[in-house]
Amino acid sequence: MKKLEGEKLVAELARLDAMKEYEKKYAGKGYVCGIDEAGRGPLAGPVVAAAVILPANRDFIYLNDSKKVTEKRREILFDEITKEAVAYGIGMASCEEIDEINILQATYLAMRRALENMAVKPDVCLNDAVTIPDVDIEQVPIVKGDAKSVSIAAASIVAKVTRDRLMQMLDREYPGYGFAKHKGYGTKEHRDAIRRMGATPYHRKTFLGNIINTGV
């Protein structure tokens, strides 16, 4: 990754500082955690959530909403965040759980599991636009939070990279569907593959009604 210097570095640090508004606002309450998910929309694979408490005195250059970061930078940031975070947790809900309880409830389930998997319990959770049911921690829903909070952005990176790596593994297990390329999203290539070869055990049957007759 290209090293930033001079005015570009100053501008990047200023951008990151602006993304610490909520972290600074709630710092007096204790550990501030960001939560986000990846994979609500795909036709296959789990929904993955991550919860991250970042160190207050560390800037992660190029940290942003995972959708605004290149794959290469996401991988580098993932390694930096998971190595240097005060604590982080990853939670998932399977395609079977998504089919059973619906994608929204499965997302909440994955988020609760991410919180449960943290070595340090946060005092405040900054969430990307949602309020998670059955969580006994103060929550602050922030619309477009992954672009406004470094903690939520970090969680979005960890969730996205974790899920992408899982889909790459599924691509090796089920070649021909293109999982490594589209990550389970409903591209034409993916839909054509489902019609040609049928659904795998990792497809969300409730998402396939307009592609094949799943019996759901």
Q: Provide the residue range defining the domain that includes 190.
A: 30-207
Chain centre distance of CA 192:
27
**CATH for 122:** 3.30.420.10
The token duo for 70 is 């290149």
- What's the rounded Cα separation, in Å, for the pair 73 and 71? 5
Q: Which residues lie closer than 8 Å to 124 by C-beta, 6 or more apart?
A: 26, 29, 30, 31, 32, 33, 137, 138, 139, 140
Q: What is the pLDDT of residues 90-116, one digit of tens each?
A: 999 999 999 999 999 999 999 999 999
Q: Establish if 2 belongs to a structural domain.
A: no
The domain tally of the chain equals 1
Question: pTM for the complete prediction?
Answer: 0.94
Q: Flag whether 24 is in a domain.
A: no
| 13, part of any domain | no
Domain assignment present for 82: yes
For the chain, the distance separating the N- and C-terminal CA atoms, rounded to the nearest angstrom, is 47
Does residue 161 lie within any of the structural domains? Answer: yes
Q: Which pLDDT score, from 0 to 100, does residue 1 have?
A: 53
Give the pLDDT confidence of 138-180 residue by residue, as tens digits.
999 999 999 999 999 999 999 999 999 999 999 999 999 999 9
**Does any domain span residue 184?**
yes
